[in-house]
Amino acid sequence: MIRRFYLENENGVQFHFKYYTGVLISDIVGLGFEFSLSYFKYGHIHKTVKKETPLLEISAVLNFLDGYDGYQKFIDYLNQGSENLKLYYRTNETKYVYVDIVSLSKAELEAGILKSEIVFNKKSYWIKERQIIIDITNQSGGKIYPYSYTYNYQITREGRTTIDIGGFFNASLIIEMEGNVDHPEINVIHSGKLISSLRLNMVAEDALIITSSVPDNKYLKMIKDDIETDIYSYQDFEKDNFIELSPGQNTLEFKSGVSTNTLCKVHIFEYHLGW
């Protein structure tokens, strides 16, 4: 399987390390993980009392086939925005990690090729994204969903669907409820037990309600008639609301509170230690 690497900035602009861009990447180090462990000693036995993931580096060599011109093109790309860079790694699946560029060397040309060492600080775990739809419309079969990116249309029974979550940590969710709702509720069931719930004390028609449990971007909002409204105060504060999914098999239960057609889209962010 061919490995492919590319960067994406906060504006969605990508830079691929391939022949057609004139920049190849090689000698990549730091794609794995490392724990910082603390122990307490009981006699001759050590007990782990703390496990942390320190800030790590990824290093590589960039080969600019067009020499200094290629180097400058890469600098021009970074000047478009380098604060929230994602480094993507694609094999049979795609994951990305948030990075800062720590350094980029500039050496002499060798046979027309400029080799530069680049060092990234790895600011997150490796993230794998996927999407599902929980469909509780009254009609079955023959439906067309005009979305611009691929969703997995789950087999749903009475608003419930089962999802297998990978990764080492709890997965974050961005949930979109589209249509009519009356005190909507989403429950997470793991190993037969109710683990977490989201409930909103509100009624809405033809609206888009979005909740996010992404650690650095948590919110509750509604979009109706192109007007965005903060609905943080409408949450049931006896519930978790910013729900996550633990690794393994989870059941999601969506209750719209109405009998009319409503869709629930779930965007999943799995967190992996490395490749």
pLDDT at 141: 43
**For residue 275, what pLDDT is reported?**
67
Note the pLDDT of residue 140: 43
Which pLDDT score is estimated for 202?
95
Q: Which residues contact 35 (CB under 8 A, 6 or more apart)?
A: 51, 52, 53
- pLDDT of the residue at 139: 44
CA–CA separation, 43 and 177 (whole Å): 55
Least confident window among 92-101, 165-174, 241-250, 252-261: 252-261
When pLDDT is averaged across residues 42-59 and rounded to a whole number, the result is: 87
Q: CA-CA distance, 21 to 131, in Å (whole number)?
A: 30
The answer, yes or no, to whether residue 41 has pLDDT greater than 70, is yes
Structural domains in the chain, sorted by start: 4-124 (2.40.30.200), 127-272 (2.60.120.880)
Buried b (16+ CB within 10 A) or exposed e, 99-130: beeeeeeeeeeeeeebbbebbbebeebbbbeb
Given pLDDT bands bounded at 50, 70 and 90, which one contains residue 156?
Answer: very low
Tokens of 168: 């080492």
CA distance 233 to 69: 54
- Average pLDDT of the chain to the nearest whole number: 88
Look up the pTM and report it: 0.85
Inform me whether the pLDDT recorded for 165 exceeds 90.
Answer: yes
The pLDDT confidence band at residue 215, using thresholds 50, 70 and 90, is very high
Q: Give the pLDDT confidence score for residue 152 in this predicted structure.
A: 54
